[in-house]
Structure 1
Amino acid sequence: MSFPSASPPQAEHWRNRFASLGPAFFTELPPQGMPQPVWVAHSASCAAELGWPENWWQREDWNALQVLSGNAAWPGMRSLASVYSGHQFGVWAGQLGDGRAHLLGEIRTPSGSLELQLKGAGLTPYSRRGDGRAVLRSSIREFLCSEAMHALGIPSTRALALSASALPVRRESLETAAIVTRVAPSFLRFGHFEHFAHHQKPAQLRQLADHFIAEHAPACLESDAPYLALLEQVARQTGSLLAHWQAVGFCHGVMNTDNMSMLGLTIDYGPFGFLDGFNPGHICNHSDHQGRYAFARQPSVAFWNLHALAQALLPLIQNEGEDPEAASERALDAIEPYKQAFSERFIALMRAKLGLHSAQAEDTALIDDWLRLLAATQVDYTIAHRRLSQFGVHDDPGALRDLFLDREAFYAWAQRYRSRLQAEASQDGARQAAMRAVNPAVVLRNHLAEGAIRAAQVGNFSETQRLLQVLQRPFDEPTQASDAAFPPDWAHTLEVSCSS
């Protein structure tokens, strides 16, 4: 289904299922628009998923720029900000909520209902000490990375559009405002459930869980224990997500429970980063002084967050009169599949990155030793895997070999790898093509994002638009060689923090 080209999305296209839960779950209020907005970029790919015509953003009758900049509304929209709580850096932070996000409702699409949300659209009751705005710098990063992750095949919220204004916003310095239109089947987080559990509101906790199961996890209704089934589903999806992050070298930077999606999506792009040199201890968030969210710790942090979710759902899992200790054990058992989901997906992804089409007992050691080899001298993670995609069973490893200072260690591993490929009669051409289809040439490195940001801050949005096109085809060799090159020396001075 697509919308008629002559009219914008009308009331019959919109759903407001979250709004139907009632005022305990949100505050209904209009967004605060930006004066004289301009388009920075829009995603044709995301618009196609919505079933919208290609020229949706240009149509005067749609008035899309004003709507997605918070200055107008389409019929059927109900703008609201939801309340949630959560643990931030491992500490209970109390009530949080959509401090700068406005949910516009759900729109019916060919693939089901998708929620649209404006990020940076002004104050809400949950803004706490914030201003409810997002700045152009961080909005470009979120817009580009949302679409880049989707193109990489990693579960993520999407970004439909990005608009900007000269409206001043104070961060470390004076910046300008922007609004990202985000898209997802649901923006529900672990923190939504923690909120009602912490405030001892079992009726609302049950209502929210029942809503989520009915709308987003109906298979759980087939279980005799649907809330345990829900917890297990979230655990498995989260395990798969973290495997994708670790395999591609993605650092989220701020894995608080309020930034964890109930659907296993990458959500809330703030101080994220893709690894340049492979350093398992890399901390991408300059605000993370203790290194809680370092790259190698991400899988264990996700499991910790699942414990917090299990604790929040415990009142639902515990049958009336049942021993609380037994209910707690059942909840812990329900998140245990996270470990298997993570390990199985990670090894499968890494086998694909190494071009192994069969599973052998020695693969785990081969993969682990490859990662140790990269970590020993912090070899560029993306470039190493891309060059590995050129490895020939009977050829000199050439460009790949040149990445390693310890040639003896590299040759020892390469011989094991060569023998492993020969054991499954791997054919160079077919394997190399398959590897290029899973080892990206381009990821959103910080210096690439910074180039787009600096141009945009002086009114030139062409680099953001160009980079979007490149990131949506990450496995193709880019026409601009610098997109896939080693980062320049100045890139090492870039820092991102929670304000990014």
Structure 2
Amino acid sequence: MAFLLQGDDVLHQVNPSPLPDPYWVAFSASAAKLIDIPLGQDKYPKDPKWLEVLAGNRLDHGSHQFDRPIATAYSGHQFGVWAGQLGDGRAILLGDIHGQELQLKGAGKTRYSRMGDGRAVLRSSIREFLCSEAMHGLDIPTSRALAVVGSNEPVHREEIETAAVCTRLAPSFLRIGHFEHYASLQKQGRLQELADYLIKHFYPECQSSTEPYLDLFKAISAKTARLVAQWQAVGFCHGVLNTDNISALGLTIDYGPFGFLDHFQIDHICNHSDTSGRYAYHRQPQIMHWNMACLASAMCPLLELKHPSEIAQTLLRTALEEFPKIYTNNWQSLFRTKLGLQTSQHEDITLIERLLQTMHDARVDFTFFFRALANYDSINLQPPKEARDLFNHLAVIDEWFKDYGHRLQSEKSVDEKRKILMKACNPKFILRNHLAQHAIEKAQAHDYSEVSKLLGILEHPFDEQEDNEAYANPPSIEHRAVEVSCSS
């Protein structure tokens, strides 16, 4: 964030608040490779000083001098309402290492903490850690989670919990809210600096364009459209798609009350604080399109440097219309692949929609069904028993299975080859809420073994992992009631 390191109007230089008596809760060896941290046999850093750095207790480590930690200001729309200035209320950016920004979440108060205490709790830190790495395992663009450091320091939420710091990595944590912030304050110079920085470092293809800012908007919008299509294809619900939670790089960031679908419900709400269902599963594409409209509005002054206002608005409005097209094309392609279809036919969309409606009506487990479907016998039009048994209206799903089999036969595909391809895109393992909750409860009793085990499983979600079969099963009825909220 080199452009942000000039001027008090865009950042707050602040040191992390020390975390008393820190200890390791979790560590990602995979994420550590991004910043070249040598690890010991226990898969934690060889140098114990890293524990103090990632707890926020020291600002230097060998050649790394984190002498200007910062929190940044941004603004945004929250649940569709303009919220004005927001900012990093408990996230402090230490600096850059090997092209990755190193950020501590839960490291204490900043200028933007408002009424908050600047801390994160163990519960939410473990959830963010596991889901960040799970999304990476699913090959979905995401910020990474390097570590969770715990402490016995009490933190008051609905009840007294303990503090933790989650270390996040990303090429940049710039978000749509940064554009909205500078636009709302009419700071055109800052807005231009932000856009130029993004073009130079992350969207170099826009540099030679005659319309660099318009093309930057198109690039961000296209990445976001592809991202939300990937979410829908694995049944991921973000929970709080406010504009200040949307990455300018098309990454999944700010894991709060997220959830993966268990039993499929098209209008599933993963955040029980979302009483209107604004961020329900089926509304995520629409909301992301709305967020891109907010970005277009914030970037309009950049196009007005070259064009009259009316023309600038028309150019952005036309570019914005591409979002649903890009999303739809990607969504259709992903679901064809999930069904093992290697060619495109017009009737495929009806086939997909019929299936999803039947799954919704029967509340079928999303991940389990698509994984099991790989075992369909297209020669004899025989559905796998474990997939068929998920449905209660067998006549309806049997008719679909028959039509699906005929569609597979039309491609003359080899079942074994199709099976391999389907299992390479339909995960066996996801971060189910009840699995995360079990790991959290053990961690709250100072047993972190389940966090490490879940991490290992989720790093390879497409593998069979016969020894971990229980982690692939749908939750029991009593475990379906696990709820999450914005409290963290």
TM-score (norm 1): 0.94
CA contact (8 A) 1:104 1:117 kept: yes
In structure 1, what residue type is equivalent to 2:56? G
Q: 1:489 offset after TM fit, Å?
A: 2.0
Equivalent residues in 2 for 1:371-386 (5 A)? 371-386=356-371
* Paired residue secondary structure (2:325): helix
> 1:497: which partner in 2?
485
Distance in 2 (alpha carbons) for counterparts of 1:177 and 1:319: 47
Matched, 1:269 2:236: no
Matched, 1:407 2:397: no
Aligned mate of 1:358, from 338, 343, 347: 343
- Once superposed, which parts of structure 1, at least 4 consecutive aligned residues long, lie more than 4 Å away? none
TM-align CA RMSD: 1.3
Equivalent residues in 2 for 1:192-341 (5 A)? 192-319=178-305, 322-341=307-326
CA contact (8 A) 1:57 1:64 kept: no
Distance in 1 (alpha carbons) for counterparts of 2:72 and 2:235: 32
> 2:65: which partner in 1?
76
CA contact (8 A) 1:232 1:335 kept: yes
Aligned mate of 1:423, from 399, 403, 410: 410
TM-score (norm 2): 0.96
Distance in 2 (alpha carbons) for counterparts of 1:95 and 1:361: 47
Q: 1:22 offset after TM fit, Å?
A: 3.3
Q: 1:19 offset after TM fit, Å?
A: 4.4
CA-to-partner distance for each residue in 1:341-392, whole Å, 9 max, x for gaps?
Answer: 2111111111111111111222111111111111111111001101101111
Q: 1:323 offset after TM fit, Å?
A: 3.4
Aligned mate of 1:99, from 89, 96, 106: 89
In structure 2, what residue type is equivalent to 1:47? A
Matched, 1:488 2:476: yes
Matched, 1:449 2:436: yes
The alignment covers a number of residue pairs equal to: 479
* Paired residue secondary structure (2:9): helix
Q: 1:222 offset after TM fit, Å?
A: 1.4
Distance in 2 (alpha carbons) for counterparts of 1:19 and 1:411: 59
CA contact (8 A) 2:38 2:45 kept: no
In structure 2, what residue type is equivalent to 1:235? S
Which structure 2 residue ranges, 5 or more long, are not aligned?
A: none
Distance in 2 (alpha carbons) for counterparts of 1:452 and 1:43: 16
CA contact (8 A) 2:3 2:194 kept: no
In structure 1, what residue type is equivalent to 2:222? R
Aligned mate of 1:152, from 138, 141, 163: 138
Q: 1:18 offset after TM fit, Å?
A: 4.5
Q: 1:480 offset after TM fit, Å?
A: 2.5
Q: 1:394 offset after TM fit, Å?
A: 2.9
CA contact (8 A) 2:37 2:45 kept: no
Distance in 1 (alpha carbons) for counterparts of 2:480 and 2:458: 21
* Paired residue secondary structure (1:431): helix
In structure 2, what residue type is equivalent to 1:489? I
Which structure 1 residue ranges, 5 or more long, are not aligned?
A: 1-15
Equivalent residues in 2 for 1:43-122 (5 A)? 43-55=28-40, 57-60=44-47, 63-74=49-60, 75-77=64-66, 78-108=68-98, 113-122=99-108
> 1:436: which partner in 2?
423
Distance in 2 (alpha carbons) for counterparts of 1:305 and 1:40: 35
Deviating more after overlay: 125-134 vs 206-215: 206-215
Distance in 2 (alpha carbons) for counterparts of 1:222 and 1:393: 50
In structure 2, what residue type is equivalent to 1:422? Q
Aligned mate of 2:13, from 28, 52, 59: 28
Distance in 1 (alpha carbons) for counterparts of 2:18 and 2:376: 53
In structure 1, what residue type is equivalent to 2:326? A
Distance in 1 (alpha carbons) for counterparts of 2:423 and 2:289: 31
> 1:467: which partner in 2?
454
In structure 2, what residue type is equivalent to 1:85? S
Q: 1:208 offset after TM fit, Å?
A: 1.3
CA contact (8 A) 1:48 1:54 kept: no
> 2:327: which partner in 1?
342
CA contact (8 A) 2:152 2:162 kept: yes
In structure 2, what residue type is equivalent to 1:71? N
Same amino acid, percent of matched pairs = 50
Matched, 1:143 2:129: yes
Distance in 1 (alpha carbons) for counterparts of 2:397 and 2:348: 17
Q: 1:493 offset after TM fit, Å?
A: 2.2
Distance in 2 (alpha carbons) for counterparts of 1:229 and 1:411: 47
Distance in 1 (alpha carbons) for counterparts of 2:477 and 2:359: 20
CA contact (8 A) 2:369 2:387 kept: yes
CA contact (8 A) 2:5 2:11 kept: no
